[in-house]
Structure 1
């Protein structure tokens, strides 16, 4: 029966080629119509061209597989093992030199490919890798690390697009050389979250900032382990300083977090630096405390509001040396001959009426405005110099009075002698 079947198949094949007509041969692969069904097509040299054989519900095939295609011209580029044609159009083909061609999309893991090559891998604990490429070479040789490409994407417009070798990745460049410690080369600007690339590296977070005070959006985070189990993070936030919905109430807050702690800007971040572009304020501090601020060129220690002063301190100040430079009117003019020293009676009258020295601020003025150290030292020196002139004048008067008293005592002594002499007469 098998011989009759093969003879019929051979005859039909001859008729097909002779008459260029399509003939159909039906063979039951499940071996119901015929016992031990088998079709074999051979070349003129006895080489197996096609072999198909099935027994029961399992397949039996020779070592070369259930399908084999041989040719006497294995190196001919136009010598095809197998062609799939529709109305004279090649849809797919396999060449003798091992190359293949598909006119449409190819799907791996999917029967509905939407690209020229569509790879789909449903998660499987036994097969977690969707795509793997491996090249066996000798590490450390240029041919392996530089000459071989795992991925090589080029375009006629921009040349190199993406290239991957055994060392690293090149985007717009060749990949790093095998002897280079680098892993990535990028030509052009890079954007994360944006395609508006105005710099070599641009990061944009499209999450809007809330309108409530202390609402924040984390923009970037750089971290490393601090030699122990603690993970230090340098985080940059956009934070709302006060209730609002525009840029005037927003600030950049750069602070340190540790693990999952100290992650709330303006509340508990450590050693932070904050910038307010609306009021031109830069501040440094920790948690909710501001240690130092620069407000439009004015420096505040322990305060942001410098009251318009170039330097403001909220708290005690200690220094080993301090110099206050005055531009003019140092009170040396008090000692000049044309200076009019106020009369002590006038000073007494002013003190009785105002309860403080002339030109010296009152207690109420100091409580309200504080004191200018340079100006106060100048006024105090002026009063000391005036007091010195008063003392000099007093000393002069005392000396003149002492001389007069001596003269008066001498005159009194002389008068006593005269009186005594008259009494004796």
Structure 2
């Protein structure tokens, strides 16, 4: 990080403002060379024009702001030039700054420098790209919670407790006559308390992943139970072809929407039935795959017909999945009742609707929402596989430490707890490989 980097920090294209950002040791010297007004104080806005110092040719009018290290986004000297949001004017300014000694930044390099300079940790750095890529309000809220240290503060609390326990163990080992050892009960309690904190974070991953990546809600059931009609009702527009002829849907039909602030992909599947039609067989295979990959299954039944063998096949196919039982066509004379379904699907969400008449849709939407985001959900969520894996490994070491707590071999307990400290360091980026950093920051744009 001994060199100075430069990049356009605003999206490419035409807009009200375009920003060129410099960061590094020679930032102020290079930035001032292309700006007409002398920048005397940090964190102060100066108006002027940007020009080519070799030809004295003016390029654009704008403002300059200087942030002196360590009081900047990257923790280094930062110089920002804000001008009109064009394409060629910004590219020309970057070209001149490179000629003056700056280097074009790599993807995510500004945020990477912020991480390496301790301005944010790896969880907060990942939250930056999550915030940039957010497609719904709820994703913004989750990313913001992570960016402002929600998860990081919890990790800090866990580390603090672990360090206290480790110091108590090792103090008693090194100075047995001066430091009283923790009794087995105390030691087990301290380890259990930390283990419960780790497990509580792990429990947020399912919800965090669904909010961050989008939730797949699969509409499943035999042919002609009203799956396509329900898809259209949930989307609030006609996406799927609806027909009374069984087997109309021969392929999965998908649509991603903003579902009350959460990105949700609704997937309508072809009904599974015995058929020799090649196209319908392919549709059946895709339906099975969609059900297997779905996060939530809306398992539909037709209230106007008795329970069939095909219904029972679907029941087995969706067993073990997070599902909602939907009894459709309740506007017609009933041949299948909710009482019958409750006897088959004990302790599961069951709802009566008429997709055609749009009755019960709002209640169904609320049930879907509550499954994605339970009411007791933590404010702060873990969202990445990397975080989940670190915490899972940490939980294993804590379980091992708990087992050893009553063995009298406290030095082994201490070693297990130290492994947890290492894993938490990997989580926050204190101890992480260059390869992992390269992978994470490759998702960023060049100017961030």
Work out whether the TM-score is over 0.5.
no
Which structure would you say has the larger Rg? 1
Which of the pair is proportionally richer in strand?
1
TM-score, with normalisation over the residues of structure 1?
0.24
TM-score, with normalisation over the residues of structure 2?
0.23
